[in-house]
Amino acid sequence: MSDETRCVHARIHGRVQGVFYRAWTEETARGLGLSGWVRNRRDGTVEALFCGPAGAVEQMLLKARSGPPLARVDRIIAEEVREPPHELPHEPPGAPLDELLSGPPGEPRFQVLPTV
Protein backbone atom coordinates (compact mmCIF):
# COMPACT_ATOMS: atom_id res chain seq x y z
CA MET A 1 0.00 0.00 0.00
CA SER A 2 1.08 3.54 -0.68
CA ASP A 3 2.02 5.81 2.18
CA GLU A 4 0.71 8.91 0.46
CA THR A 5 -1.39 11.14 2.71
CA ARG A 6 -5.09 10.45 2.61
CA CYS A 7 -8.09 12.02 4.38
CA VAL A 8 -11.46 10.30 4.70
CA HIS A 9 -14.68 11.67 6.16
CA ALA A 10 -16.76 8.82 7.60
CA ARG A 11 -20.29 8.43 9.00
CA ILE A 12 -20.74 5.29 11.06
CA HIS A 13 -24.28 3.91 11.42
CA GLY A 14 -25.56 1.30 13.89
CA ARG A 15 -25.39 0.98 17.66
CA VAL A 16 -22.39 3.28 17.96
CA GLN A 17 -23.37 5.68 20.74
CA GLY A 18 -23.21 4.79 24.41
CA VAL A 19 -20.82 1.90 23.67
CA PHE A 20 -17.46 3.74 23.93
CA TYR A 21 -17.17 4.03 20.14
CA ARG A 22 -15.68 7.55 20.22
CA ALA A 23 -13.09 6.68 22.87
CA TRP A 24 -12.20 3.48 21.01
CA THR A 25 -11.88 5.45 17.75
CA GLU A 26 -9.61 8.03 19.36
CA GLU A 27 -7.35 5.36 20.86
CA THR A 28 -7.24 3.29 17.67
CA ALA A 29 -6.58 6.28 15.40
CA ARG A 30 -3.79 7.55 17.65
CA GLY A 31 -2.27 4.07 17.67
CA LEU A 32 -2.21 4.16 13.87
CA GLY A 33 -0.61 7.63 13.87
CA LEU A 34 -3.65 9.38 12.36
CA SER A 35 -4.79 12.96 12.74
CA GLY A 36 -8.44 13.92 12.81
CA TRP A 37 -11.48 13.92 15.02
CA VAL A 38 -14.56 11.93 16.01
CA ARG A 39 -17.93 13.05 17.38
CA ASN A 40 -21.47 11.87 18.02
CA ARG A 41 -24.28 13.29 15.93
CA ARG A 42 -27.79 13.85 17.24
CA ASP A 43 -29.15 11.47 14.58
CA GLY A 44 -27.42 8.54 16.37
CA THR A 45 -24.45 8.20 14.04
CA VAL A 46 -20.78 8.82 14.71
CA GLU A 47 -18.83 11.10 12.37
CA ALA A 48 -15.06 11.08 11.95
CA LEU A 49 -12.24 12.52 9.89
CA PHE A 50 -9.18 10.28 9.45
CA CYS A 51 -6.01 11.79 7.94
CA GLY A 52 -2.60 10.23 7.54
CA PRO A 53 -0.69 7.62 5.54
CA ALA A 54 -3.04 5.86 3.11
CA GLY A 55 -2.33 2.43 4.59
CA ALA A 56 -3.12 3.59 8.14
CA VAL A 57 -6.36 5.25 7.03
CA GLU A 58 -7.39 2.02 5.30
CA GLN A 59 -6.61 0.03 8.46
CA MET A 60 -8.71 2.46 10.51
CA LEU A 61 -11.67 2.07 8.18
CA LEU A 62 -11.41 -1.73 8.40
CA LYS A 63 -11.22 -1.64 12.21
CA ALA A 64 -14.12 0.85 12.36
CA ARG A 65 -16.39 -1.76 10.73
CA SER A 66 -16.21 -3.74 13.97
CA GLY A 67 -15.52 -1.05 16.55
CA PRO A 68 -15.41 -1.79 20.28
CA PRO A 69 -16.99 -4.96 21.71
CA LEU A 70 -20.42 -3.44 22.57
CA ALA A 71 -20.87 -1.69 19.21
CA ARG A 72 -22.84 -2.94 16.22
CA VAL A 73 -21.80 -1.25 12.99
CA ASP A 74 -24.42 -1.52 10.26
CA ARG A 75 -22.61 0.55 7.65
CA ILE A 76 -19.97 3.17 7.10
CA ILE A 77 -20.31 5.88 4.50
CA ALA A 78 -16.78 7.04 3.71
CA GLU A 79 -15.83 9.83 1.33
CA GLU A 80 -12.37 10.86 0.26
CA VAL A 81 -11.51 14.41 1.18
CA ARG A 82 -9.14 15.70 -1.47
CA GLU A 83 -8.21 18.76 0.53
CA PRO A 84 -9.06 18.79 4.23
CA PRO A 85 -11.32 21.72 5.09
CA HIS A 86 -9.69 24.61 6.91
CA GLU A 87 -12.62 24.84 9.33
CA LEU A 88 -14.97 22.33 10.87
CA PRO A 89 -18.39 22.30 9.20
CA HIS A 90 -20.36 22.79 12.43
CA GLU A 91 -19.05 23.18 15.94
CA PRO A 92 -17.04 24.75 17.31
CA PRO A 93 -17.92 27.47 14.80
CA GLY A 94 -14.95 28.64 12.81
CA ALA A 95 -12.49 26.42 14.65
CA PRO A 96 -9.33 26.23 12.53
CA LEU A 97 -8.89 22.60 11.55
CA ASP A 98 -5.12 23.03 11.40
CA GLU A 99 -5.11 23.75 15.15
CA LEU A 100 -7.27 20.69 15.85
CA LEU A 101 -5.13 18.34 13.77
CA SER A 102 -1.67 19.46 14.81
CA GLY A 103 -0.11 18.26 18.01
CA PRO A 104 3.49 18.79 19.01
CA PRO A 105 5.73 19.50 16.00
CA GLY A 106 5.72 16.54 13.65
CA GLU A 107 3.13 14.56 15.62
CA PRO A 108 -0.46 13.83 14.58
CA ARG A 109 -3.38 14.79 16.77
CA PHE A 110 -6.70 13.00 17.05
CA GLN A 111 -9.46 14.15 19.36
CA VAL A 112 -13.08 13.77 20.39
CA LEU A 113 -15.29 16.77 19.54
CA PRO A 114 -18.65 17.80 21.03
CA THR A 115 -21.89 16.32 19.71
CA VAL A 116 -23.58 18.16 16.83
CATH numbers and ranges of domains, the chain = 5-112 (3.30.70.100)
Higher pLDDT: 16 or 5? It is 16
Q: Catalytic pick from 6, 11, 15, 22?
A: 22
Mean predicted confidence (pLDDT) in 82-88: 59
Q: What is the pLDDT, as a whole number, of residue 84?
A: 59
Q: What SS3 state is found at 83?
A: coil
pLDDT of residue 4: 87
Cα–Cα separations (whole angstroms), residue 97 to 17, 67, 70:
24, 25, 31
Q: What is the pLDDT of residue 99?
A: 57
pLDDT-derived band at 2 (thresholds 50, 70, 90) equals: very low
40 is catalytic: yes
In the chain, % of residues over pLDDT 90: 69
Alpha carbons 82 and 99: distance in angstroms, whole number: 19
Catalytic residue (choose from 11, 40, 42, 75): 40
- Arithmetic mean of pLDDT, 78-106: 61
Query: What is the 3-class SS of 40-81, one letter each residue?
Result: ECCCCCEEEEEEEEHHHHHHHHHHHCCCCCCCEEEEEEEEEC
> What is the arithmetic mean of pLDDT over 52-57?
95
Average the pLDDT over 65-76 and give the result. Answer: 97
| pLDDT band of 73, cuts 50, 70, 90 | very high
